[in-house]
Amino acid sequence: MDFKSSDTITGPRTEDRLPHSTQAAVKIVIVGGFGVGKTTMVGSVSEIRPLTTEETMTQAGIGVDDNYGSDSKTATTVAMDFGRISITDQLVLYLFGTPGQERFWFLWSGLFEGALGAVVLIDTRRLEVSFDVIGRLEERGVPFVIAVNSFPDAPRYPIEDLRSALDLAPEIPIVECDARRRASSRDTLMTLMRFLHSLELTKASV
């Protein structure tokens, strides 16, 4: 195992340390295709420099353990960028920019199941790459909103055309955003939170 010697490990900067009073964390997942701006969005709202957690995936079948560590298996490293926002001195929010392909999601147990909800970041130049992601979230019952990352040269569709093309239920919010801008990314997260809040209200009134 490639372990850095403890001398070379750089921990969090002093200003990036959480207070001792921090009791719990929540997470939101930002999911979308390659190059759609997940890392940009994480970086624009995070209070810490975005970090990367990696996981190794092998192509060997589940349950096979006799060739563990042998060279015959192909290992793929899957990286996930994440950031952090302190909510109160007791609560902290983590944002994970997650690859769109579902086969990667199993690498991090509870990635979606435990999340408050998800932001599906889409690029109208490649709308179809988001189809599978949206379908998987629907199947898993993960609440989500759609954020259209406004690339300058991307085709602009009316929101209702997008809703129809993505076959989304009328209550699911669709917002335009500029993932590079902190205020815009924050507003996108607020849209998700308001949506989750409305779901809770609906649940409570049933």
100 binds other proteins (CB under 8 A): no
Of 169, 170, 205, 206, the one binding other proteins (CB under 8 A) is 169
The CB density around residue 163, as the number of other CB atoms within 10 Å, is 17
93 binds other proteins (CB under 8 A): yes
Contact stretch for other proteins (CB under 8 A) within 34-42, 85-93, 144-152, 173-181: 85-93
6 binds other proteins (CB under 8 A): yes
* Subset of 114-133 contacting other proteins (CB under 8 A): 114-117, 124, 127-128, 131
* Subset of 49-78 contacting other proteins (CB under 8 A): 51-58, 60-66, 68
What is the nearest approach in angstroms of other proteins to the Cβ of residue 190?
5
Of 72, 74, 153, 201, the one binding other proteins (CB under 8 A) is 201
Contact stretch for other proteins (CB under 8 A) within 34-42, 112-120, 145-153, 173-181: 112-120
Count, residues near other proteins per rule CB under 8 A = 93
Strands 24-32 and 91-99: parallel
Of 101, 102, 138, 150, the one binding other proteins (CB under 8 A) is 138
Q: Are 140 and 106 in contact (CB under 8 A)?
A: no
* Subset of 146-165 contacting other proteins (CB under 8 A): 155, 157, 161-162, 164-165
Strand partners, 31: 98, 120
Reference 41, options 156, 153, 148, 196; nearest CA is 148
CA 201 to chain centre: 24
Binding mask 10-49 for other proteins (x = CB under 8 A): xxx----xxxx-xxxxxx-----------------x----
The tokens of 33 are what?
């295709």
